[in-house]
C-alpha cells in the first residue's frame, strides 16, 4: 500500500507560516494584555444586595456566601431579610428576621453590612426596628420589599427617619409581564417617593428587572441609584445604565444566594466600560453612599 503523497505548494506553505506567525503575535499580545490586567490594583468589590437562606442558620448561610464571595474577590456584602421570605411581615416577624441579619453581621462584622427590613403597613413598628437595628445597632441601611407600593404616604416617616440616620434605602422594584404583586413597587413608584425626599438616597433594586424601562424612568432623579442585581446577565445592560445615568449612579449587586456572584458580576466585568467606571460600579459608589453612616458609627471602610 502506498501512502498518498503530501506535498505543500509554495503558496500553502507561506500561508501556513503566515497564520502561525499571526497566531503567535496574537497570543503574545494577549499574554501582555492579561499581564497588564494582573498588574492593575484589584478593584474593591462591594455587593449591594444579598440575603440569607438555604442553610440551617444565619451563620451557616453567610459563611457559605462569603466562601463564594472569596472566590470572586468580593470584599463586602449587604444582607437584608431573614432566612425565610415573607411578603407582608408582622411586627414580630420583622423583629425575627432582623435578628437573623444581626446574627449574620455579628458573624463577620468586617464584611457584612446589615440593612433593616421594614413594612410600611406597620409604621410605628418599622420606626422602632430602625431605631433598634440602625440607631442603636450595627445596621447601616433600610430594606423595603413588597408589602406596600413605595409611592404611598406611609413611606414618608420611614424615609425621613432613614435620612436622619444617614441610612440609604434599598427598595425592591419590578416590572412583571404577568402583573406585579399588589404591594410590589415599580421604578416609577420609587421615582415618586424619591422626588418627595430629595435628601434621601435610594437604590432601585433590580433596576425594575425590565431594565430598559427602569433606567429611563429613574434617569432624571439624581437621588436614585440603579442596583443591577438579579435577572439574567444580559449583555448591554450595564453599558446602557452608564450611558443614561452616568457611572456614578450604577451599583453592582447580586441578590445572592438566589443568584450567583459569578453571573451577576459578569454584567459588570464583561461590559465595555472604561476601568474607572467599572471601579465605581463594583464598589466605590456603594462605599460613597454608605460612608456618611459608616463614619458616624465609626465603622472602618
Ligand atoms: Zn433581593
Percent of the chain with pLDDT over 90: 84
157-169 mean pLDDT = 98
* pLDDT over threshold 90, residue 18: no
Residue 80 near residue 170 (C-beta atoms within 8 A): yes
Structural domain boundaries in the chain: 11-40, 43-297
Cα of 291 from ligand 1 centre, angstroms: 22
pTM of full prediction above 0.85: yes
* pLDDT over threshold 60, residue 233: yes
Cα of 271 from ligand 1 centre, angstroms: 22
pLDDT band at residue 4 under the 50/70/90 scheme:
very low
Cα of 214 from ligand 1 centre, angstroms: 16
Residue 101 near residue 82 (C-beta atoms within 8 A): yes
User: Which of 143, 198, 199, 139 is closest to 173 using CA atoms?
Assistant: 143
pLDDT for 36 equals 58
User: Which of 282, 274, 168, 153 is closest to 228 using CA atoms?
Assistant: 282
Cα of 31 from ligand 1 centre, angstroms: 39
Cα of 144 from ligand 1 centre, angstroms: 10
pLDDT for 300 equals 85
DSSP state of 230: S
**pLDDT (tens digit, 9 = 90+) per residue, 63-96?**
999 999 999 999 999 999 999 999 999 999 999 9
pLDDT for 27 equals 60
pLDDT for 173 equals 97
Yes or no: domain 43-297 corresponds to CATH 1.10.510.10: no
pLDDT for 1 equals 44
pLDDT for 3 equals 45
- In angstroms, the CA 80 to CA 139 distance is 10
pLDDT for 35 equals 58
Cα of 84 from ligand 1 centre, angstroms: 12
258-277 mean pLDDT = 96
Cα of 51 from ligand 1 centre, angstroms: 7
* pLDDT over threshold 70, residue 13: no
Amino acid at each position: 500500500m502506498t501512502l498518498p503523497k503530501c506535498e505543500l505548494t509554495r503558496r500553502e506553505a507561506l500561508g501556513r507560516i503566515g497564520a502561525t506567525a499571526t497566531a503567535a503575535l496574537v497570543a503574545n499580545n494577549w499574554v501582555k494584555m492579561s499581564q497588564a490586567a494582573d498588574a492593575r490594583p484589584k478593584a474593591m468589590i462591594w455587593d449591594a444586595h444579598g440575603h440569607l437562606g438555604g442553610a440551617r442558620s444565619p451563620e451557616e448561610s453567610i459563611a457559605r456566601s462569603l466562601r463564594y464571595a472569596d472566590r470572586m474577590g468580593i470584599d463586602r456584602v449587604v444582607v437584608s431579610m431573614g432566612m425565610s421570605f415573607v411578603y407582608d411581615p408582622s411586627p414580630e416577624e420583622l423583629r425575627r428576621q432582623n435578628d437573623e441579619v444581626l446574627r449574620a453581621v455579628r458573624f463577620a462584622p468586617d464584611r457584612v453590612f446589615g440593612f433593616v427590613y421594614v413594612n410600611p403597613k406597620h409604621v410605628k413598628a418599622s420606626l422602632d426596628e430602625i431605631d433598634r437595628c440602625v440607631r442603636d445597632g450595627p445596621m447601616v441601611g433600610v430594606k423595603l420589599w413588597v408589602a406596600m407600593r413605595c409611592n404611598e404616604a406611609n413611606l414618608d416617616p420611614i424615609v425621613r427617619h432613614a435620612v436622619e440616620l444617614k441610612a440609604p434605602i434599598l427598595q425592591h422594584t419590578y416590572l412583571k409581564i404577568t402583573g406585579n404583586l399588589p404591594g410590589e413597587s415599580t421604578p416609577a413608584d420609587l421615582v415618586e417617593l424619591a422626588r418627595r425626599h430629595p435628601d434621601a438616597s435610594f437604590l432601585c433594586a433590580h433596576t425594575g428587572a425590565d431594565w430598559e424601562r427602569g433606567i429611563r424612568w429613574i434617569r432624571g432623579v439624581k437621588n436614585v441609584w440603579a442596583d443591577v442585581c438579579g435577572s439574567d446577565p444580559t449583555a448591554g445592560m450595564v453599558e446602557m445604565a452608564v450611558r443614561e445615568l452616568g457611572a456614578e449612579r450604577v451599583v453592582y449587586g447580586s441578590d445572592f444566594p438566589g443568584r450567583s456572584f459569578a453571573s451577576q458580576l459578569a454584567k459588570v466585568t464583561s461590559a465595555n466600560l472604561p476601568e474607572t467606571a467599572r471601579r465605581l460600579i463594583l464598589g466605590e459608589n456603594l462605599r460613597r453612599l454608605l460612608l456618611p453612616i459608616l463614619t458616624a458609627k465609626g465603622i472602618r471602610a
